Amino acid sequence: MLNRVILIGRLTRDPELRYTPAGVAVTQFTLAVDRPFTNSQTREREADFIPIVTWRQLAETCANYLRKGLSPRWKAACRCAATTTTKAGKCM
């Protein structure tokens, strides 16, 4: 089974670096990804806002080098948040 996603977009704000009580680095930020088409009613382009969470060394690297407005390319596995899983453990 293949679980791979590639995202190209812009950071909406600077990454927020935090540490867990165990000392593990965690960074959170949002990536704005433009849709390849325009809205048929307003003729404007729309974007999806994807929340990104990175851990450990990658979290520290993101906090050091990424800034609002930059356009990074992400290649990663996609995971469901706890709020989007069913009781059977499947993603909705």
24: pLDDT strictly greater than 90: yes
Quote the pLDDT of residue 3.
74
Whole-structure pTM value = 0.68
Does residue 45 contact residue 35 with C-beta atoms inside 8 Å? Answer: yes
Q: Where do the DSSP E strands lie in 1-92?
A: 5-8, 10-11, 16-19, 25-38, 45-55, 73-76
59: pLDDT strictly greater than 80: yes
When mean pLDDT is compared over 26-30, 51-55, 80-84, the highest value belongs to 26-30
Domains, in order of start, for the chain: 5-68 (2.40.50.140)
